[in-house]
C-alpha cells in the first residue's frame, strides 16, 4: 500500500502518505523516513540509469502529434531534472512544449494542480486536454482538472488495472492503439 499509494505524489505528499501508512507499525512518527527515502531514491536513480523501455507506439504518436501541431506536455511527480534526463536519454525531449514536475506545484496528484498548470502553460482549456496516466492518483488528478483521461497499462501498476479502468474515461494497452 505504501508503494502503490505513493505513486504520482510529490515529495511532501509522499512523506505524509508513507508516515500515515506506516503508523500502525511505527507509532508516533518513528518510521525512519529519511533512510527509506535515501534507499528508494538510490533504487529509482539506478532504474533511470538503465535503459527504461519506451511504451509501444509512443514515438509514432508523438511524431503524429508534432506533425499535426498538437501541443504536448509532461506532468510528472518526479523532479524536473530526472524527467529531463530520461527524455534526453530516450530522444523524446524535442516532442514536448512543457514539462511540469511535482516540485513545481503546491499539491501533488491526486489533486489537479499539476494538470491545471500544464493547461495554463500550454494556453489551452482543461476540457480540451487528453491525459495519459498509469496510476490511479494521476487519473484522479486529470479527472479533477476537468480533462479526459486514458489509463495506460503498465507493468509496475498492473495490480491496479481494475481501479484504473473504473476511474478513467478509457484504457489502452499501448499507444499504437491510437494510431
Lowest mean pLDDT among 4-8, 17-21, 28-32, 94-98: 4-8
Q: What is the mean pLDDT of residues 31-51?
A: 69
- DSSP class of residue 55 equals P
pLDDT (tens digit per residue) in 60-107: 999 999 999 999 999 998 889 888 988 998 999 999 999 999 889 999
pLDDT at 1 over 50: no
C-alpha cell at 46: 539506478
SS3 173: coil
- Structure-model confidence comparison of residues 173 and 31, the more confident one: 173
* pLDDT given at position 46: 67
Name the DSSP class of 20.
H
Kindly tell me the sign of the dihedral angle through the C-alpha atoms of 132, 56, 1, 13.
negative
* Mean per-residue pLDDT over the chain, rounded: 86
Percentage, residues of the chain above pLDDT 90: 58
Residue with cell 534526453: 88
- CB of 10 within 8 A of CB of 117? no
CA 97 distance to own-chain centroid: 17
Whether the predicted pLDDT of 179 surpasses 80: yes
User: pLDDT tens digit string along 144-165?
Assistant: 999 999 999 988 788 899 999 9
Alpha helices in 23-171 (DSSP H): 33-49, 58-67, 80-90, 113-122, 136-144, 161-167
Give the Cβ contact number of residue 76 at 10 Å. 21
User: What is the Cα–Cα distance from 125 to 120, expressed in whole angstroms?
Assistant: 8
pLDDT in the model for residue 2: 43
Query: In angstroms, rounded to a whole number, what is the distance separating the alpha carbons of residues 171 and 62?
Result: 18
Q: What's the rounded Cα separation, in Å, for the pair 34 and 17?
A: 14
The highest-confidence range among 1-5, 107-111, 152-156, by mean pLDDT, is 107-111
For residues 124 and 7, the model is more confident at 124
Amino acid at each position: 500500500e505504501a508503494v502503490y499509494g505513493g505513486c504520482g505524489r510529490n515529495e511532501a505528499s509522499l512523506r505524509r502518505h508513507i508516515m500515515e501508512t506506516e503508523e500502525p507499525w511505527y507509532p508516533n512518527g518513528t518510521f525512519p523516513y529519511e533512510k527509506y527515502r535515501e534507499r528508494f531514491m538510490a533504487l529509482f536513480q539506478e532504474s533511470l540509469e538503465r535503459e527504461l523501455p519506451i511504451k509501444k507506439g509512443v514515438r509514432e504518436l508523438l511524431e503524429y502529434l508534432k506533425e499535426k501541431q498538437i501541443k504536448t506536455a509532461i506532468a510528472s511527480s518526479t523532479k524536473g531534472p530526472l524527467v529531463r534526463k530520461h527524455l534526453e536519454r530516450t530522444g523524446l525531449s524535442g516532442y514536448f512544449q512543457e514539462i511540469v514536475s511535482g516540485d513545481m506545484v503546491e499539491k501533488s496528484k491526486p489533486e489537479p494542480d499539476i494538470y491545471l498548470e500544464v493547461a495554463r502553460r500550454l494556453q489551452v482549456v482543461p476540457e480540451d486536454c487528453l491525459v495519459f496516466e498509469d496510476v490511479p492518483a494521476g487519473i484522479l488528478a486529470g479527472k479533477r482538472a476537468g480533462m479526459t483521461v486514458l489509463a495506460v497499462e503498465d507493468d509496475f501498476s498492473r495490480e491496479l488495472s481494475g481501479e484504473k479502468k473504473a476511474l478513467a474515461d478509457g484504457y489502452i494497452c499501448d499507444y499504437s492503439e491510437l494510431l
